[in-house]
Amino acid sequence: MAFSNLLTQYWLYILVYAVLCGLVSAAVARLKQRDQGNWFILGFLLGVFAIAAVAMTRKLPDELAPKNNLLLDPEHYLRSGWRILLFLISVLVLYYLSAVLAKLSGIVPPQSFFFLFYIDVLLATYLLVRFIDRRRFMSVGFPLHGKVLREFLFGFLIGAAMIGLVGAVELAVGAVKLEVRPGQTFALLVRNFGLSFTFFAYFAMGEELIFRGYPFQALIEGMGAVGATILVSLFFGAVHLMNPDASLFSTVNTMLAGAWLSLAYLKKRTLYFPFGMHFSWNLVQSFFLSLPVSGLLTNRTIFIPHDFGPDWLTGGRYGPEAGVGTTVVMVGVIIYFILDRKIKPGYDYAALKQRLTAGETPSVE
């Protein structure tokens, strides 16, 4: 169904959906004390874009026929759009239940409930992959092959080198000045490194599960790799608008980062590679360079940063991710990923994605 026909026949439903997206976005803005009008417009446009993205795929039928069903694909499995919706609902339900249980038990303090979110994402991913898609859980990006550590380290080195280059340029031109944090002992330094390592590893894997995991892979099946990468990258940037001191420049760079990490998954078809890049980028940026990560600055760092220099170069209080250095590095690596044919899956991707037959017990491979 062409997008023009979709507008003609279902314009009222599209308008209601887009307005709801705008209202949700404005509600989030109100909680974050942001401009509700701008956020309403952003949510409205993203709602319209999502409808357009679906309409451009062949998954939206002109009529309900057995061979072109709105609910099921030709293999009689749920279409990708329904699976993504089911995934999001599952995450929300699981998060609500886990938060209630945590509150009743008193084990997890209320300010730490958000840490439960990514555990719920992991559980929802398992349930959808295992019982809806009828595939092995490892097929979502965790194949157990002999190159797991190599892929992670390869990604880790790339991410560290990229943010290291951005930080080195800022330090070399004097845009940022660092002062050794006073009163540090070796024991405190090790403790802070351990906390930073755990924190950034946890959140990097959590974000990869959401933005390069099940929803992204379902989108690829529904609309192709290019459309899925563009859509997920847009949402990746939009989500980070909620961070302190976010700007248009930081949002564009975050969208580029979304494309960078999505390409990493598409090249290797595992989450080890993008996870390594995402993790090291944040860890080096925060602990070693002692700079803000997406607007968040902690005191678990080696140095204290001073004088963030011109915002166009350093990103100001948002950090390097809002500066031109990140733009240049991201674009360069994206082009490299697109052109390099040597980066490819290290296992039989198609075989791992095969459906399980009725009664078959999934192995861990």
Q: Is residue 67 part of a domain?
A: no
Q: Calculate the dihedral angle through the C-alpha atoms of 237, 241, 245, 251, rounding to the nearest 10 degrees.
A: 30
Per-residue 3-state assignment (H helix, E strand, C coil) for 16-71: HHHHHHHHHHHHHHHHCCCCHHHHHHHHHHHHHHHHHHHHCCCCCCCCCECCECCC
Shared domain for 196 and 300, answered yes or no, is yes
Q: What is the spatial distance between Cα 212 and Cα 219, in angstroms, rounded to a whole number?
A: 10
Q: Are residues 16 and 156 in the same domain?
A: no
* Residue 30 within any structural domain of the chain: yes
Shared-domain flag, residues 198 and 338: yes
Residue-level pLDDT at 12: 63
Supply the pLDDT for residue 3.
46
Report pLDDT digits (tens) over 291-329: 999 999 888 999 998 877 899 999 999 999 999 999 999
End residue of a domain, out of 14, 30, 56: 56
Shared-domain flag, residues 190 and 305: yes
Identify the DSSP state of 296: B
My answer on whether 33 and 150 are in the same domain is no
Give tens-digit pLDDT for 264-279: 999 999 999 999 999 9
pLDDT of residue 55: 57
Q: What pLDDT score was predicted for residue 62?
A: 44
Neighbouring CB atoms inside 10 A of 64's CB total 9
Q: Answer whether residue 187 is part of any domain.
A: yes
- Domain tally for the chain? 2
Task: Give the residue ranges of the chain where pLDDT is below 50.
Answer: 1-3, 57-66, 364-365
Break the chain down into helix, strand, coil percent, rounded to 5: 70, 5, 30
Q: Does 61 fall in a domain?
A: no
Q: How far apart are CA 326 and CA 173, in angstroms?
A: 15
Pair 267, 343: CB distance under 8 Å: yes
pLDDT confidence of residue 96: 86
pLDDT at position 69 is: 66
Instruction: Identify whether residues 205 and 307 lie together within a single domain.
Output: yes
176 and 35 inside one domain: no
Find the domain containing 8 and state its range: 1-56
Q: Is residue 298 part of a domain?
A: yes
Q: For residue 125, is it within any domain? A: no
* Residue 338 and residue 231 in one domain: yes
SS3 270: coil
- Pair (158, 293) in one structural domain: yes
pLDDT at residue number 197 = 97
Same domain (yes/no): 35, 182: no
Same domain, 273 and 171: yes
- Shared domain for 50 and 161, answered yes or no, is no
Q: Is residue 259 part of a domain?
A: yes
Does the residue 204 lie in any domain? yes
